[in-house]
């Protein structure tokens, strides 16, 4: 009898430790098939190599590359609890590409990092199908990534999901907020609910509510008109295509992605000497926020610094173009609202003011 193959023995030992190389290699073929629908003409080499290859679109004369990275965060805990992973794949893409487009950049490529304690091909494929859907919505290519098995590091059915993206913008079209000025109008684009932020607080409220018998994730509370699980896992909206559409024909002075930190993201794009005045009555707030505020006894000022409260992105535009920008966004299927203005900031005043705040006058 021939001696056992040494490589096969090592592979069996690795499998006993929790990493099955044969299973993981087969999963790569599934990734290639999933990624195929996201390909762009500039793709030179994608999934399967040590790195992906992609060329800058030739229509750019003075291209500046813009890069971003983000993760889904603790929303993944709820996804594992509910057993649904496709929406978090969309979240993973959205958190990255929305950060690219606020700089004026067209997202080109996306790479993912997916890790589990023991790779479950079905869970992994479901998450990656969500990533591919997010890439299609953003118009970027799923160029590659990394899939890791880490025995003992993650619980069964739990995963880590992180994304990395690169976009491109003409140098003279970069949006950095430096031209935001007194009189500009703030246009808010509606969110799809919680998106991917504040879930440490969300999970605390949900865990306490379930333990107290107040509700269950599968319940459909009357005030939500859908199951609590569906409301919590609604994927982050991807604003890339409508915002790029607007940027082609209008001058955007500043753009802010309302993510972790809620509306406190807006001052990041304000130039010196101005502040943003927001009217929180200017848009309808998704019911999930009132549900969480009530069950978690969260004051309104904290809601606005943790959650997007119904606005996922804000554009600062010249007041003479505001109505046309609103009509263009609505024509692309977005729900958009005139939510505030940029005004001169009094000395020592905060850069963000809500009209219903004490002393707002």
d(C-alpha 173, C-alpha 343), whole Å: 24
**Could you count the other beta carbons within 10 Å of the beta carbon of residue 36?**
12
Tokens 């979240």: give the residue.
91
Query: Is the alpha carbon torsion for 68, 74, 76, 82 positive or negative?
Result: negative
d(C-alpha 233, C-alpha 291), whole Å: 15
100's tokens: 């690219």
d(C-alpha 21, C-alpha 27), whole Å: 10
d(C-alpha 243, C-alpha 334), whole Å: 10
Per-residue pLDDT of the chain (361 residues; tens, 9 = 90+): 455 565 555 556 555 555 555 555 566 667 777 777 788 877 777 666 677 788 889 999 999 999 999 999 999 999 999 999 999 999 999 999 999 999 999 999 999 999 998 888 899 899 999 999 999 999 999 988 888 888 888 888 889 999 999 999 999 999 999 999 999 999 999 999 999 999 999 999 999 999 999 988 998 888 898 999 999 999 999 999 999 999 999 999 999 999 989 999 999 999 889 999 999 999 999 999 999 999 999 999 999 999 999 999 999 999 999 999 999 999 999 999 999 999 999 988 999 999 887 656 6
Domains of the chain: 20-173 (3.30.1330.10), 185-354 (3.90.650.10)
Q: At CA 51, angle to CA 48 and CA 53, rounded to 5?
A: 100
């Amino acid at each position: 009898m021939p001696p056992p193959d040494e490589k096969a023995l090592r592979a069996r030992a690795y499998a006993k430790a929790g990493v099955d190389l044969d299973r993981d290699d087969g999963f790569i073929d599934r990734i290639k098939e999933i990624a195929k629908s996201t390909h762009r003409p500039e793709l030179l080499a994608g999934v399967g190599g040590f790195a992906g290859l992609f060329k800058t679109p030739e229509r750019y004369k003075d291209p500046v590359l813009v890069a971003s990275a983000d993760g889904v965060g603790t929303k993944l805990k709820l996804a594992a609890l509910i057993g649904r992973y496709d929406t978090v794949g969309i979240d993973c893409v959205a958190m990255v590409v929305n950060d690219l487009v606020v700089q004026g950049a067209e997202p080109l490529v996306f790479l993912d990092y997916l890790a589990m304690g023991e790779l479950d091909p079905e869970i992994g494929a479901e998450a990656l199908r969500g990533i591919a859907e997010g890439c299609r919505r953003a118009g970027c290519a799923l160029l590659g990534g990394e899939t890791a098995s880490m025995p003992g590091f993650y619980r069964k059915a739990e995963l880590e999901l992180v994304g990395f993206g690169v976009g491109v913008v003409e140098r003279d079209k970069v949006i950095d907020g430096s031209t935001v000025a007194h009189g500009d109008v703030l246009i808010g684009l509606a969110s799809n609910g919680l998106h991917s932020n504040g879930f440490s607080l969300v999970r605390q409220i949900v865990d306490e509510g379930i333990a107290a018998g107040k509700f269950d994730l599968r319940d459909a509370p009357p005030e939500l008109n859908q199951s609590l699980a569906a409301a919590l896992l609604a994927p982050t909206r991807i604003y890339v295509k409508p915002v790029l559409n607007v940027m082609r024909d209008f001058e955007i002075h500043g753009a802010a992605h309302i993510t972790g930190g809620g509306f406190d993201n807006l001052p990041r794009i304000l130039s010196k000497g101005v502040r943003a005045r927001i009217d929180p009555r200017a848009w309808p707030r998704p019911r999930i926020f009132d549900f969480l505020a009530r069950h978690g006894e969260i004051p309104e000022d904290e809601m606005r610094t943790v959650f997007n409260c119904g606005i996922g992105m804000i554009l600062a535009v010249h007041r003479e173009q505001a109505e046309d920008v609103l009509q263009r966004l609505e024509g692309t299927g977005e729900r958009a609202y005139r939510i505030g203005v940029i005004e001169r900031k009094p000395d020592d005043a905060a850069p963000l003011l809500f009209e219903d705040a004490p002393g707002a006058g």
